[in-house]
Structure 1
Amino acid sequence: MLTFTSPFLRKKGYASALVAELCLILGQNGLVPKLYADLKNPDSNKIYKNIGFVEAGKIADIRFHDYYKWRSKHGASTQMGQRLLPNVHLL
């Protein structure tokens, strides 16, 4: 789920109420809500903490280059038992 509040509707508690209610419904159904928050957005992070979310760790966004383009550019082959992977960049 992506949360976004239009600028003219911000600071009214709508998004907080919506996320809090959704978390309550999930909990009542035996599910644990998880949230991936942007650390660069302190306003939303403050709201999430007020709702009850706690930081449990960090994630990494891993993107792979197109393997087939990489393989053809480098003349690589995939012989039996040999596994070649493209470059990996952590963002």
Structure 2
Amino acid sequence: MAKFISKCSVFLSVLQIYFIDYLNRAWYFMVDVVKELETLRQNLLDLSLRNNLLNYRPSPRRTISITGRSPEEVYDLFVLQEKSMKFRATKTRPKKRQKG
């Protein structure tokens, strides 16, 4: 019986060493994954001049002017209610430049 207990004790010691090694490797892997995800997240955030959402300049061809509604109403319709809006062209047209 003493040999059995001794063998169980050795087995448990080896098992404990392997378990601690496994936990250390798992922790190292988790820290590495967290660092990698943070790096990828930072790379996705483009703060350069190429980001048109941050560096928007209105132009007659790319800009739609919404009149008759507040920004809160437009946000509520588009984002919260997920509805669409219909737009009508204005009666006045921008004046064309004459060459001459």
Identify the TM-score tier after normalising by the shorter chain: under 0.3
After TM superposition, the score normalised by the length of structure 2 is 0.21
Higher relative contact order (CA 8 A, sep 6+): 1
Q: TM-score, normalised by structure 1?
A: 0.23
Q: Which structure has the bigger radius of gyration? A: 2
